[in-house]
Chains A and B, each alone.
Chain A
């Protein structure tokens, strides 16, 4: 390459054929290496890498294709109401939502899993997703489930466990050998399942405690950081889950919730567990039981609506990394995994509106007070 800037009016010396080929080859190599680096980063050269696409394809492989539905937490209804902040969490976080006062809430109550028409069962994991919308301030989204700990500690383990527990088409049950192999390779899963199996299972959606499971960092006005976990604890009294009534319809748990909300609002206390810096951010590990609890306020749900009735939760991606200033992510890898996979699911389902069949819980069911 010439070292001096050339006078553009004077023609350079002619290149030999060999030099021309060599230089063209060099240009080709530079372009190919650039394209290759881009392809590598984009995952095209690593078919085994767990990408968002593969994660969502895994959900579809296990649950079947359900266009227009969330790939996870597919069966659910919209729930709206408000949050009355006690102001007690304001010393921990500068987030506007924790200042004393009332904030509108748009939520969603659902079953975990990617099957939008699965019959209600108390054994299925339940979820409560909430979107807090303080006026003139940043919103906060959180998705909680009724497990005390998360069963896996990484996106890869989540994916492997999902595929290992896929029912065998011949027996209709997961292949025990695959689950045993997964368990053997994941002692943290075995320990978490032990805790999960021992949990009290409530009879319905309204008397269930929902846990965010992840560790977040609250930041107060002075810049002090506190690791926390949070849960919503039902105001309704706990009643243990029993066998489904003989007359139970496919949506009997949703119908019970609809009937209850038709009579009176349902409430949960938002409890913030204050951690120590040494407490684990691994979501499979519980925190010591003696950690201080702060009641940040009360979530009230006074209205439910079907997803097919213009429910306000339909086009909301309950991405747990949508946080206002004053709440920050921890290094829990499941947070990024959820955010990235939800993003992919959201893009797919928002593009499939025209193909979506009616949701399991219909507008008539919700408006009629829950009797299908």
Chain B
């Protein structure tokens, strides 16, 4: 694919790290607000909705960016099973980052809630109001969030495995601050 070098492009790295921060914040906010009756609930909820939509926009930018500047190839020395795991986990991460905000948006639509981003900024419903659909989507939102967090842990462990054990340049291809392409 490319012989250009070991790094992701600068836009790719920026998008990756920005989304890493937002996504982790989102997962912790979500887990925290679903488990509290304290006065933090309303505050967390008011952050959760616009943050989810921000992630949805960013993940679409990321799809486009990936087409424009494809990632550097994995090292040839990587065993096929790890190569498969890498591709499968990345696919799963992308799918979940895209689906989670849509499930959240759809769930609020089906539950008949106004979809408030901030103040007068609202989104239209994307599904008809439907009780059973709401219940299914609300449960899915939780299950998919756990799956996303588990996939993140696997991603984190794999990145550290590349950086600390294999030392094959894969971690540096994303974690580098180098400006060259």
Say whether A335 contacts B42, CB under 8 Å.
yes
Interface size on B, as a range, is: 35 or more
Closest residue on chain B to residue A338 by CB atoms: B37
Instruction: State which of B6, B32, B163, B167 has its C-beta within 8 Å of the C-beta of A41.
Output: B32
**Closest approach, in angstroms, between the C-beta of B76 and any C-beta of chain A?**
9
With A30-B160, A315-B112 already in contact, the answer to whether A8 and B168 are too (CB < 8 A) is yes
Say whether B131 contacts A52, CB under 8 Å.
no
Contacts of A346 in B (CB 8 A): 111
Closest residue on chain A to residue B170 by CB atoms: A8
Q: Which one, B10-18, B54-62, B80-88, B149-157, is touching chain A?
A: B149-157
Say whether A340 contacts B119, CB under 8 Å.
no
Say whether A12 contacts B40, CB under 8 Å.
no
Distance in angstroms between the alpha carbons of A37 and B32 in the assembled complex: 11
B165 interfacial by beta-carbon distance below 8 Å: yes
* Interface 1/0 per residue, A150-169 and B, CB below 8 Å: 00000100000000000000
Interface size on A, as a range, is: 35 or more
B91 interfacial by beta-carbon distance below 8 Å: no
Contacts of A50 in B (CB 8 A): 37
Distance in angstroms between the alpha carbons of A335 and B33 in the assembled complex: 14
Contacts of B35 in A (CB 8 A): 41-43, 49, 51-53
Chain A 286-345 residues near chain B, CB threshold 8 A: 314-317, 319, 321-322, 325, 329, 331, 333, 335-337, 339-341
Distance in angstroms between the alpha carbons of A249 and B160 in the assembled complex: 70
Distance in angstroms between the alpha carbons of A20 and B165 in the assembled complex: 7
Distance in angstroms between the alpha carbons of A157 and B136 in the assembled complex: 32
Say whether B160 contacts A27, CB under 8 Å.
yes
Contacts of B89 in A (CB 8 A): none
* Interface 1/0 per residue, B4-38 and A, CB below 8 Å: 00110000000000000000000110011111111
Instruction: State which of A6, A8, A315, A337 has its C-beta within 8 Å of the C-beta of B37.
Output: A337
Closest residue on chain A to residue B149 by CB atoms: A38
Contacts of A11 in B (CB 8 A): 77
**Closest approach, in angstroms, between the C-beta of B174 and any C-beta of chain A?**
11
A-B contact count (CB 8 A): 138
Chain A 1-48 residues near chain B, CB threshold 8 A: 1-2, 5-8, 11-12, 15, 20, 23-24, 26-27, 30-31, 34-35, 37-38, 41-43
Say whether B132 contacts A26, CB under 8 Å.
no
Contacts of B119 in A (CB 8 A): 325
* Interface 1/0 per residue, A70-83 and B, CB below 8 Å: 00000000000000
Distance in angstroms between the alpha carbons of A43 and B135 in the assembled complex: 22
Chain B 95-149 residues near chain A, CB threshold 8 A: 111-114, 116, 119-120, 122, 129, 131-132, 134-136, 138-139, 149
* Interface 1/0 per residue, B61-81 and A, CB below 8 Å: 000000000000001010000
Contacts of A15 in B (CB 8 A): 165
**Closest approach, in angstroms, between the C-beta of A34 and any C-beta of chain B?**
6
Distance in angstroms between the alpha carbons of A144 and B71 in the assembled complex: 57
* Interface 1/0 per residue, A334-361 and B, CB below 8 Å: 0111011100001100110100000000
B41 interfacial by beta-carbon distance below 8 Å: yes
Say whether B169 contacts A339, CB under 8 Å.
no
A138 interfacial by beta-carbon distance below 8 Å: yes
**Closest approach, in angstroms, between the C-beta of B98 and any C-beta of chain A?**
21
Say whether A26 contacts B164, CB under 8 Å.
yes
**Closest approach, in angstroms, between the C-beta of A12 and any C-beta of chain B?**
4
**Closest approach, in angstroms, between the C-beta of A146 and any C-beta of chain B?**
24
A270 interfacial by beta-carbon distance below 8 Å: no
Say whether A347 contacts B135, CB under 8 Å.
yes
A139 interfacial by beta-carbon distance below 8 Å: yes
Instruction: State which of A23, A139, A314, A340 has its C-beta within 8 Å of the C-beta of B41.
Output: A340
Instruction: State which of B42, B122, B169 has its C-beta within 8 Å of the C-beta of A336.
Output: B42
Contacts of A333 in B (CB 8 A): 38-39
Closest residue on chain A to residue B118 by CB atoms: A325
Closest residue on chain A to residue B116 by CB atoms: A138
**Closest approach, in angstroms, between the C-beta of A185 and any C-beta of chain B?**
19
Distance in angstroms between the alpha carbons of A351 and B140 in the assembled complex: 12
Contacts of B39 in A (CB 8 A): 331, 333, 335-337
Say whether B138 contacts A315, CB under 8 Å.
no
**Closest approach, in angstroms, between the C-beta of B131 and any C-beta of chain A?**
4
Contacts of A34 in B (CB 8 A): 153, 156
A212 interfacial by beta-carbon distance below 8 Å: no
Say whether A336 contacts B132, CB under 8 Å.
no
**Closest approach, in angstroms, between the C-beta of B20 and any C-beta of chain A?**
12
Distance in angstroms between the alpha carbons of A317 and B131 in the assembled complex: 11
**Closest approach, in angstroms, between the C-beta of B10 and any C-beta of chain A?**
14
Distance in angstroms between the alpha carbons of A339 and B112 in the assembled complex: 15
Query: What are 9 A-B contacts with C-beta separation under 8 Å?
Result: A1-B164, A52-B34, A317-B111, A325-B119, A337-B41, A341-B37, A347-B135, A350-B135, A351-B139
Told that A51-B36, A155-B37 touch, could you supply 6 new A-B pairs with CB distance under 8 A? A27-B161, A34-B153, A35-B153, A38-B31, A42-B34, A347-B139
